[in-house]
Amino acid sequence: MKDKGITVTKEKDMPEWYSQVALKSKLADYSRVKGTMVIRPYGFAVWQKIQDEFNKLIAKNNVENAYFPLFIPESFFKKEAEHAKGFSPEVAWIEKKTKDKERIAIRPTSETIMYDSYSRWIRSWRDLPLKINQWCNVVRWEVSDVKLFLRSREFLWQEGHCVYETEKECETETLHYLNLYKKISKDLLAVPALVGKKTEKEKFAGAKTTYGIETFTEEGKALQLATSHNLGQSFAKGFNIKFKGRDDKTHLPWQNSWGFSTRLIGALIMTHSDNKGLVLPPTIAPNQIVIIPILKKDSQNEVLKKARQLKSKLKKYRVLLDDNTSYSSGWKFNEYELRGVPLRLEIGPKDIKKKQVVIARRDNGKKESIKESQLLKTIDKTLNNIQVELFRKASKFLEASIINVETWNDFKKVSKDKKLIKASFCGRPSCEEEIKFKTSGITSRLELLNEKKPKGKCINCDKLANQKVIFGKTY
Amino acid sequence: MKDKGITVTKEKDMPEWYSQVALKSKLADYSRVKGTMVIRPYGFAVWQKIQDEFNKLIAKNNVENAYFPLFIPESFFKKEAEHAKGFSPEVAWIEKKTKDKERIAIRPTSETIMYDSYSRWIRSWRDLPLKINQWCNVVRWEVSDVKLFLRSREFLWQEGHCVYETEKECETETLHYLNLYKKISKDLLAVPALVGKKTEKEKFAGAKTTYGIETFTEEGKALQLATSHNLGQSFAKGFNIKFKGRDDKTHLPWQNSWGFSTRLIGALIMTHSDNKGLVLPPTIAPNQIVIIPILKKDSQNEVLKKARQLKSKLKKYRVLLDDNTSYSSGWKFNEYELRGVPLRLEIGPKDIKKKQVVIARRDNGKKESIKESQLLKTIDKTLNNIQVELFRKASKFLEASIINVETWNDFKKVSKDKKLIKASFCGRPSCEEEIKFKTSGITSRLELLNEKKPKGKCINCDKLANQKVIFGKTY
């Protein structure tokens, strides 16, 4: 019983706390296979909810789901030089058998295998835009120490890959998907995110521009949630994707790709959970409400009957009634707190007499008795309020974590705190490399959009600054 | 334009016909990577429909979805000897990097990787039954020549893996999932199936009993649609899965596993399609109805308006309105026949005057004018009738394909026809091996359930027969 709950505090040992929350809430488990993890049914229910919502959003924009092979021939990687260079250290290869001619990789991402097909499917402007998404597993072999949901050799994700007639349409849509990510993160996970552009050094291998959304954790690290890449025409060149335009001439199309992964679940855990365990926002929680009947010998039947009535009244929510008689109510309270169920309803013989129900919030622990006649209204309001409060609290934390610095000395000083640093930057990869080296590991996270171009010099060198960039440690 | 339609007949060259139907209806495509295929959006929409329906059916039975690693260490395979032997020729391995200790395989099926986790999750009878399903990709490397949906190195499937306290519960549920498969096959795909038990020789590597459903194609081959394995206790032994029973003693649990794959889509194509292309049953069709406005210069606006009205009246169906003006109506008729849309509605200026709509059935080509006031009722009836007729026709074909034989001479003779053979059989693997050798490739498909035990000898040897078995060629 003792080690059922979380045995360390977030403040004392955040990595251990995180891992215990993910494990003990039964979202995930380690596997005995190096570098891999298991997504347990409770965690997969969260993922399916994310999938359902995202599928609806992209369907509105005429994106269709499809499935492309897990395997990529070595020669495909070489068709886009930057892309090959970027991914080669991470790739897992299949042992060659006698009959195999070429070395075959397991997809780390699917640009190459998809665009090979695209080159045969696209002939005319009438075939554009082509908008395809796939949900699949991808592999980055270099990972060996697993951090549940945040870092593993294999993970699940979606990757959207679109092709357009014009540069403008491509850029507009690249930003559209970025906004969908921000929406999912806010509306579903109640996780606030910074939105911006990756620096030259940090952008996706082969992209013209990479946009991303990131959040920040109490561990003092930035956490990338999703990216959306404007690929320009370089893959079209590499894979020979051409179309006959409205002018009857042959053109290269414009492409983007965009993705998020099960890492979102890691951000969800990090952002809201506490020393009692997981905290889930109502919109994403597999069970929004748990009903716990307070069972005593002489009133058991009456209470169970009432609990079932309650459940049937709450059909618009995802409700779990735990009527198991072999565990105590106290045991159940702990269990569902550990598993992050947003709202607990308690109903006992005394409550029945008083025509009331006790409701307890997971997020702030507040508990009150509600008249039965007011129950539906109160639940509605409370679930809403939990969602809003979780986002508000997390947003406040994120905002307070960004420290504006003007001098290199301040940069150095703040880089030792658990903070994000906002500074003027020249944009050069070599300068960024230098910053990373001089600070033991600080990298650029995002160039903020919609900010005024800074005046004056880069935070680290003598060149003129041309962007405001958020720097920080990352996972 | 000429090669847009199907250029061979089913009767003349069934393999080429099949491949053209799958390709030209845009369900799937070949990939340049040996042994693999692409599931295009149209095909994936069919798969998602199957997933949605099956998810509902298993959720009713408290099965939850989860996700386990793609990678399996070599040592796991060795824990169940028969299983290892059965799968070893098919397995793809990852190239070892310097740091890797053990050889790692890509899952051909997930019994071993899942049961390793199960051994840590199951402690008491209170943890049982454990019912988990996963949707994922699996790899059987020995395949090099692709037959779209029917045979490829990688395919998508679902695999359910349950653990039970008692042998009886395990067997009952093994048959329950088998029945769900039959239901999906009938209700969704209108594909009739034989239900039965695999012979000793053909059962799953490591199983106690394998049940399966199979259909039969005009190519003269049996097509396995799904299997459900009662695994007994052999994996529990191999993976050390134990539980403390209600009697406080330690027991081995009972397990089953059950699965179907994207091969179902192959069966769907084979069963209903014709020389004009794909034929889809209404329940599974991504578009159940296509509306084609007959566009002429002077009435175009009026007709388009009417077509849109029609569409909005048909919201309970999945309707596609093709209002593209750069293709002719004739081109569109061919296109949606090729793609198997069950019902076509045509609306032109004359129809508007007469307050009627032309409806054309894809399955039998019948075309009639329907008064607008009767449209909804007629569509409902017609879609229903298409579903029923497709299943009836296919069932008739399946029944007529089974030939009862009593002597080895007849067996030999019928084995040259495109038929299934029903015969008495002794059940011995060596005898089955002999039959295969003597007939160039006939194997047992299923032992029929609910049949009387035969009297007399085996069709091939002097031993007593103990089962009625369906034999045939297969994919």
Q: In whole angstroms, what is the distance from residue A6 CA to residue A176 CA?
A: 40
CATH of the domain at B252: 3.30.930.10
- A183 in any annotated domain: yes
pLDDT tens per residue, range A258-275: 999 999 999 999 999 999
Could you say which of A348, A382, A416 is where a domain stops? A382
pLDDT tens per residue, range B336-362: 999 999 999 999 999 999 999 999 999
- B262 in any annotated domain: yes
Number of H helices, E strands in chain B: 14, 22
pLDDT of residue B100: 75
Residues A24 and A133 placed together within one structural domain of the fold = yes
Task: Please work out, in degrees rounded to the nearest 5, the angle formed at the alpha carbon of residue B317 by the alpha carbons of B311 and B322.
Answer: 40
Give the relative orientation of helices B263-272 and B41-60 as an angle to the nearest 10 degrees. Answer: 110
B71 touches chain A (CB under 8 A): yes
Structure confidence at residue A3 as a pLDDT band (50, 70, 90): low
Residues A161 and A238 placed together within one structural domain of the fold = yes
- A391 in any annotated domain: no
Q: What are the residue ranges of helices labelled H in B184-278? A: 234-239, 263-272
- A390 in any annotated domain: no
pLDDT tens per residue, range B407-459: 999 999 999 999 999 999 999 999 999 999 999 899 999 999 988 889 899 99
Residues B151 and B294 placed together within one structural domain of the fold = no
pLDDT tens per residue, range A95-129: 987 777 889 999 999 999 999 999 999 999 999 99
Residues A121 and A214 placed together within one structural domain of the fold = yes
CATH of the domain at B362: 3.40.50.800
Could you say which of A214, A245, A272 is where a domain stops? A272
Residues A300 and A159 placed together within one structural domain of the fold = no
Residues B309 and B266 placed together within one structural domain of the fold = no
Could you say which of B334, B351, B382 is where a domain stops? B382
A194, amino acid identity: L
Place of tokens 């697993």: A146
Mutate to test the interface with B, among A24, A71, A91, A127 (most CBs of B within 10 A): A71
Question: What would the mean pLDDT of A201-211 be, rounded to a whole number?
Answer: 94
Residues A105 and A169 placed together within one structural domain of the fold = yes
What percentage of chain A has pLDDT greater than the value 70?
99
- Which stretch of A422-426, B261-265, B452-456, B463-467 has the lowest confidence by average pLDDT? B452-456
Residues A334 and A203 placed together within one structural domain of the fold = no
What percentage of chain B has pLDDT greater than the value 90?
91
Check A34 against B100: CB less than 8 A apart: yes
Residues A254 and A145 placed together within one structural domain of the fold = yes
Counted domains in chain A: 3
Query: What residues make up the domain containing A338?
Result: 289-382
Beta strand extents in A233-348 (DSSP E only)? 243-244, 250-251, 254-261, 289-293, 319-321, 343-347
B113 touches chain A (CB under 8 A): yes
- A278 in any annotated domain: no
A403 touches chain B (CB under 8 A): no
Is pLDDT larger for residue B335 or for residue A77? B335
A49, amino acid identity: K
CB interface of A with B, residues 307-346, below 8 Å: 326
- For residue B81, pLDDT beyond 90: no
B38 touches chain A (CB under 8 A): yes
Residues B91 and B204 placed together within one structural domain of the fold = yes
Question: What would the mean pLDDT of B32-57 be, rounded to a whole number?
Answer: 97
Residues A61 and A31 placed together within one structural domain of the fold = yes
pLDDT tens per residue, range A438-456: 998 999 999 999 888 898 9
pLDDT of residue A1: 42
- For residue B29, pLDDT beyond 70: yes
Q: In whole angstroms, what is the distance from residue A361 CA to residue A378 CA?
A: 12
Check A94 against B97: CB less than 8 A apart: no
Please give the distance of CA B222 from its chain centroid, rounded to a whole number: 12
Average pLDDT for chain B: 95
Question: Which residues of chain B have a CB within 8 Å of the CB of A261?
Answer: none
Question: Which residues of chain A have a CB within 8 Å of the CB of B117?
Answer: 29, 31, 38
CATH of the domain at A449: 3.30.110.30
What separation in angstroms does the CA of B247 have from each of A291, A374, B125, B241? 31, 47, 10, 17
pLDDT tens per residue, range B128-185: 999 999 999 999 998 889 999 999 999 999 999 999 999 999 999 999 999 999 999 9
Residues B325 and B416 placed together within one structural domain of the fold = no
Kindly provide the ipTM of the predicted complex, given to two decimals.
Answer: 0.96
Q: In whole angstroms, what is the distance from residue B380 CA to residue A418 CA?
A: 64
Question: Which residues of chain A have a CB within 8 Å of the CB of B36?
Answer: 69-71
- A282 in any annotated domain: no
Q: Which of B71, B101, B141 lies at the smallest CB-CB distance from A154?
A: B71
CB interface of A with B, residues 39-68, below 8 Å: 39-41, 43-45, 47-48, 64-68
Question: Which residues of chain A have a CB within 8 Å of the CB of B132?
Answer: 41
- A171 in any annotated domain: yes
pLDDT of residue B4: 79
pLDDT of residue A140: 94
- For residue B23, pLDDT beyond 80: yes
Mutate to test the interface with A, among B29, B33, B239 (most CBs of A within 10 A): B33
pLDDT tens per residue, range B190-240: 999 999 999 999 999 899 999 999 999 999 999 999 999 999 999 999 999
pLDDT tens per residue, range B47-67: 999 999 999 999 999 999 999
First and final CA of chain B: distance in angstroms?
33
- B387 in any annotated domain: no
* Greatest distance between any 2 Cα atoms in chain A: 85
Structure confidence at residue B3 as a pLDDT band (50, 70, 90): low
- Which stretch of B1-5, B123-127, B288-292 has the lowest confidence by average pLDDT? B1-5
